Structure 1
Amino acid sequence: MDIKNVMQADKKLIEDRLMELMNINLTYSSKILDSMRYSLSAGGKRIRPCIFVEVLKSYNIDVKKYLDVACVIEMIHTYSLIHDDLPAMDNDTLRRGKPTNHMVYGDAIAILAGDALLNFAYELLFKFIKNNFQINSVKACEEISNCAGIYGMIGGQVSDIINENKDISSGNLEYIHENKTAKLIIASMVSAGYLANADENDMEHLRKYAYNLGMAFQISDDILDIIGNEKLLGKSVGKDVDEGKNTYPKYFGIEKSKEKLNGYVNSAIDEISEIKDKDMSFFAQLATYIGNRKY
């Protein structure tokens, strides 16, 4: 299996559907659609919806039936990036090698575009539940909602912001990384597990794998912000240090952070290897890829 080819195929499937969903006409407020489409079509690896799709495929589930849920996850992720880049937060001018949303459309429209993507995501979730009303559909949507909100991504972002230029405990550092990054990866994995009717044992390993992968992903981000190539990354580097962010390199240095990164990668592989009756080779390769990524 060539993981890059698999992800490229999944990415095309997801992006085609995203643009279909965004084929909307608004008479007097079409500018918001331009802004939403701008960030949705700005590229990126689409790792979260790809994870969702690959879980379904590993359980031999028809992906197209649940493709809108994969798009919901990407919309939530994209809205968070739009808001994260704003002057009031990280004040970034580049995202995925392109000017950030607020640099093109202004702060007000960028804020509203993020709001609109989040709201549209929940419109799609409600429509999905209405058309697929069963307990596991509800559980899948609940997982996404919880992981995206105050118990997940937003909670992590808040702790990240209010603790800038402060020293924090190792527990708080883990909390920030788990919630602002790992939770949406967990949502991608676990929601697909519910929709695939995975048993309790599999669900436990899917959740633990996603946690370890998410932690590895954020530590990798922390490291790349210091030693990464700005052209490859498509965004500014060195901002974590400039803004006093609490990262693993801040507390442990680069080499120790790499050790912790490898530890999470190995734990992720161990967890996914416990699912014996399904082909989970994609996820083992994905963990290795995250551990070695350059951008």
Structure 2
Amino acid sequence: MEQLIETEDFETALARRAREVEATLDRLLGSASLEGEIARPDELMRAIRHGVLGGGKRLRPFLVLETAALFDADDNAALRVAAALECIHCYSLIHDDLPAMDDDDLRRGRPTVHRAFDEATAILAGDGLLTFAFDIVADDATDLPAATRVRLVSAMARAAGVGGMVGGQALDLQAARIKPDEAGVVMLQAMKTGALIRFACEAGAAIGDASPGERERLSEFGQAIGLAFQLADDLLDATSSAATLGKAAGKDADAGKATLVSLHGVEWTRRQLAGLVDQATALLDPFGARAGLLREAARFVAMRSF
């Protein structure tokens, strides 16, 4: 693993962590069967690797790793949990891109999994990634106390499931037929996008055996930047091109989807983003200089242009 440089800037740190996570995922998603597995079908594994490897900022894993680093936690255990979370995120992207969902042809500038392979294989690739994520965390190779792994598995399931990301996607599909009010949009976004981002910060705190107060503070930090992430995503969809985003742009407006941008406009959204950054960074004050990269992560989430 590459040595951490104390003076490392955010972009360098984000890229370094992305390489570490990519290498971990590459190893975990290899062709060799694990104990208890019968075989790993070649085409399925190629589809999974297409959907996971070769791109992405790996923001959610970065948040796991950097929140864990606040408490000098074991970096290898944090990397495995970060990789598991990225498996869930990538599964959600594969399924969201399907014709029955968002019907996208591009992801990270490349054909989506159902375009590069076929719909059935894309569904199975997502299924495989979802189940494997829990395998990674529960495995003894994730060198954490058993009680901590159980808490992480439970929290990850709830963040990803019917009361979190999956439920948020269901609300998003429903919103195409019945436009939600502002409170409905905020809840939808907190579930679809925010739940996994909040979990990333909570997971790092759990890995680091943080105090209850520290865990709550980092959970609130994750909640704030989760909303900021979705606001920024909606803003990008409204103002950027497909070439910039690496995926189709303007789809929310074309679908008549209610977003906070559509309800309040671009300038209001930018002001909200600035306020969320202030809120998120203030939550990190007790951690002092150690939280510098997390403060920069909050600014990156809100101000990113891709």
| Structure 1 and Structure 2 fold alike (TM over 0.5) | yes
**AA of the residue aligned to 2:22:** E
Q: Take 2:184 and 2:272, find their aligned partners in 1: how far apart are those partners?
A: 16
In structure 2, relative to structure 1, the CA distance for the partners of 1:252 and 1:28 (3 Å cut) is closer
Q: What residue number does 2:95 align with?
A: 83
- Report Cα offsets for 1:179-235 as digits up to 9, x if no partner: 101110111110110110111111111000000000000000000001013222111
Aligned pair 1:15/2:22, yes or no?
yes
Q: Take 2:206 and 2:272, find their aligned partners in 1: how far apart are those partners?
A: 30
Q: What residue number does 2:36 align with?
A: none
Bigger shift: residues 25-34 or 182-191: 25-34
Q: Give 3-state SS (helix, strand or coil) of 2:287's partner.
A: coil
Q: What residue number does 1:291 align with?
A: 302
**Matching of residues 21-40 of structure 1 within 5 Å:** 21-25=28-32, 29-40=41-52
Aligned pair 1:227/2:248, yes or no?
no
Moved over 3 A (4+): 25-28, 128-134
**Matching of residues 73-152 of structure 1 within 5 Å:** 73-128=85-140, 132-152=144-164
Q: Take 2:43 and 2:122, find their aligned partners in 1: how far apart are those partners?
A: 10
Q: What residue number does 1:49 align with?
A: 61
Q: Take 2:285 and 2:40, find their aligned partners in 1: how far apart are those partners?
A: 53
Alignment check: 8 A CA contact 1:59 1:196 kept? yes
Q: Give 3-state SS (helix, strand or coil) of 1:59's partner.
A: coil
Residue number among 250, 253, 264 corresponding to 1:252 in the alignment: 264
TM-superposed CA distance for 1:131, in Å, is 5.8
Alignment check: 8 A CA contact 1:137 1:194 kept? no
Query: Percent of pairs identical after alignment?
Result: 31
Alignment check: 8 A CA contact 1:93 1:99 kept? yes
Aligned length: 294
Alignment check: 8 A CA contact 1:42 1:98 kept? no
Q: What residue number does 1:5 align with?
A: 12
Q: TM-score by structure 2 length?
A: 0.91
Q: Give 3-state SS (helix, strand or coil) of 1:88's partner.
A: coil
Q: Take 1:105 and 1:175, find their aligned partners in 2: how far apart are those partners?
A: 34
Alignment check: 8 A CA contact 2:138 2:149 kept? no
Give unmatched runs, 5+ long, in structure 1: none
Q: Give 3-state SS (helix, strand or coil) of 2:265's partner.
A: helix
Alignment check: 8 A CA contact 1:156 1:177 kept? yes
Alignment check: 8 A CA contact 1:166 1:244 kept? no
TM-superposed CA distance for 1:130, in Å, is 8.4
**AA of the residue aligned to 1:139:** R
Q: TM-score by structure 1 length?
A: 0.95
**Matching of residues 194-205 of structure 1 within 5 Å:** 194-205=206-217
Alignment check: 8 A CA contact 1:141 1:191 kept? no
RMSD over aligned CA atoms reads 1.7
Residue number among 284, 290, 297 corresponding to 1:279 in the alignment: 290
In structure 2, relative to structure 1, the CA distance for the partners of 1:266 and 1:165 (3 Å cut) is farther
Alignment check: 8 A CA contact 1:269 1:287 kept? yes
